Each structure stands twice: as C-alpha cells, then as structure tokens.
Homo-oligomer: A and B are copies of this chain.
Amino acid sequence: MIRVGIVGGTGYTGVELLRILALHDAVEITAVTSRADTGKRVDEVYPNLRGYVNVVFVQPELEQLTECDVVFFATPNGTAMLMAEQLLARGIKVIDLSADFRLKNVDEWQQWYGMQHTSPDLIAQAVYGLPEVNREAMKSAELIACPGCYPTAVQLGFLPLIEQGLIEIDHLIADVKSGVSGAGRKAELSTLMSETGESFKAYAVAGHRHLPEITQGLSAIARQSVGLTFVPHLTPMIRGIHATLYARLLKPSAIDEVHAFYRQRYMAERFVDVLPLGTHADTRNVRGSNHCQIALFCPQGGSTLVILSVIDNLVKGAAGQAVQAMNIMYGLDEAQGLRAIALYP
C-alpha cells in the first residue's frame, strides 16, 4: 500500500483527492492536514465521505507527514514550495496541485504570482505532470507539478495541431468557460450563488495566471514561441471546463484528415477521447470522471479550425490528473482508482 498524505484537505481539490483515493485499492490515506480543522474528523467537514474516510485532520507540519510515501499538495499557491524540499530530502515524493512548480522561469512565476519563490532550485527538477506529453519523465519523477485546469483543457486541445505543424501559432485563441468550483472553497462575495447563478461573465481578460503556463507548454511542443489570447469565463455551474479553441490552418486541410491526426495521437491515451466528426463536446459527459473529450470543426469549410475540449476541472483538471500522476510514478495501471463514469444527468 502506498501511504499517502494530503496537505490542504479542506479545499475542493483536497476533498476530491479524498473521494478518489478512498476507493483506490493501492492507497492508504495516512495523513490529511488542515490548519483550521485540526482535530476534527474529515467526514464531519465532508459528510459525503462518511463510511469511507476515517481520519482526523492534523496540523500541516512536517512531522505529520514523515510516515507518507507520497504527499499531495492541494494548497493555495506558495505553500508547497515551503515544504517540498524537506519531504524530498526524506525520500517522500511530492505531487503539487498548486502552481508553485509549474513555470520554469522563476522571474515570470514571481511576476504572475506576486511573491518570492522560496525553492527556485527545485523548479528544474519538477516534472510538469501532463501525462499525454510527459509520461516518460513522470515515471521517474520525485516532484510533479500538476497542470492547472485551464492549461490541461487547452493544451490537450491544441496538441496534435501543433505537433503536426498544421496551424499558425502566433495568434491562437482560447475562449474557455469554467464552472465556479474552479475558484476554490473560499468565503468570497464573487462566487456566492447570488452573484454567479443565472449569469455569465468573462474575467481576468487582461491577463490570467494560466496564460504563461499554457504558452510555456504549447511553445515547448512547437519548439518556438506561440502567441495566445486566452479569455477565461465563469459559467453558472459547479464543475466543468469547456475550451473553445480557434486556430488558422496554414494550408487547406480536409477536416477528416485533421480528425484522423487527433485519433492517431490519442489512440493510446486512456483519458483523452476524440469524438466522432459532427459531434459536439458537453461538459456533463465528463463530470466526475478523469476524461477529456475533444471535438473538431472547420466551419463553412474555411481556414479556421474550432476545437472543443472538455474536462471536469476538479478531476482531469486537478485531483484525477494528480492520481494519474501517482499511478505513473508507482508503475501502477494508469487508470487505477480513476474508472468512475461521468455522472449523467
């Protein structure tokens, strides 16, 4: 059994990790931390876990985690970088769901996240945990930086096009819509039901922290700098991300040919599903599951491709992808603990 620790067990990614790991046959949940809820039973805070999780929240201190084989950080940005080094030094693997180790450029990270990075040396060592791109490196990683939710949906959507060199990469557009759970479990006015229900809006159009992460990832694939306009939106639902991606073809290509490239590229991927031509993607079809579903269109036979890419932001966009990373690190079946089917309706 893999002894697992979770730091930051009271956010939505934390409780989602618990929901997945509680049913993972190879895992034993050893420690779950919460500064605010120390001493409380986990299932008192999350009654959906009653009968499945029998642990009590402990302080987020190193000594609480030393019995673990691997520690997940489901914390706000800036926490994992304070503890990762000590854990790694003890031979404990680290899977960070926050943004601390996602950007390779420290200056850029400090600029976007507005704080000093306390473990810049670990950045190079961290493996960006998008299995569809970095599986080999992940197998031997000690420290994994899990991708953000938007970056997962957008990168998986553009990936085959960029690998194949089919599109202009200087003016990509990603118009992405997220459910409100992406904003986290924090007492804030802006995500009250009265504020977000029955309404739709864009936010952070001038610049969102996931922008440099996406361009870093896409540029690595393209082996040159890509240009991206990224507009995130808040949609009145709880879970789900729908990325609508726009790219111009470099030369006329039949849509079924492009579609074949996608099918080929993701044929061996358990969690990326290219839908039949003519089909649209719908976030409900991946809600609660670790799948990404992708649909392709070339409207009016023009030169602009439209790619629809949907995930559950808390699963493939966070906790599910983190467990997938753990499975890869430990040589387990990549889908272990991740076979839940999306909840429809």
A200 within 8 A of B: yes
Which residue of chain B is the closest to A175 with respect to CB atoms? B175
A264 within 8 A of B: no
Contact yes or no, A189 B187, CB < 8 A: yes
What is the bound-complex CA distance between A197 and B236, given in angstroms?
Answer: 9
A209 within 8 A of B: no
Which residue of chain B is the closest to A284 with respect to CB atoms? B199
Within 8 A of B (CB), among A161-199: 171, 173, 175, 177, 179-181, 183, 185-189, 191-199
User: Could you say which of B15, B179, B233, B287 contacts A177, with CB atoms under 8 Å apart?
Assistant: B233
What is the bound-complex CA distance between A344 and B197, given in angstroms?
Answer: 11
Q: Which chain B residues lie closer than 8 Å to A293 at the CB level?
A: 47, 50
Contact yes or no, A52 B194, CB < 8 A: no
A216 within 8 A of B: no
Contact yes or no, A280 B203, CB < 8 A: yes
A306 within 8 A of B: yes
Within the oligomer, what is the number of copies of this chain? Answer: 4
Given contacts A193-B197, A238-B198, A284-B48, contact A345 B12 (CB under 8 A): yes
Interface string of A11-31 (1 = CB under 8 A from B): 010010001001100000000
Interface string of A270-302 (1 = CB under 8 A from B): 000101001111111111110101010101101
Q: Which chain B residues lie closer than 8 Å to A52 at the CB level?
A: 341
Contact yes or no, B193 A189, CB < 8 A: no
What is the bound-complex CA distance between A342 and B181, given in angstroms?
Answer: 16
Given contacts A200-B235, A233-B244, A246-B173, contact A207 B299 (CB under 8 A): yes
Given contacts A22-B341, A51-B273, contact A199 B240 (CB under 8 A): yes
The 7 closest A-B pairs by CB, nearest first: A199-B284, A48-B342, A194-B345, A201-B282, A175-B175, A193-B193, A205-B297
16 A-B contact pairs sorted by A residue (CB < 8 Å):
A47-B282, A171-B304, A180-B193, A187-B192, A193-B197, A197-B236, A197-B238, A198-B237, A201-B242, A206-B297, A207-B300, A229-B304, A231-B244, A231-B306, A233-B242, A340-B340
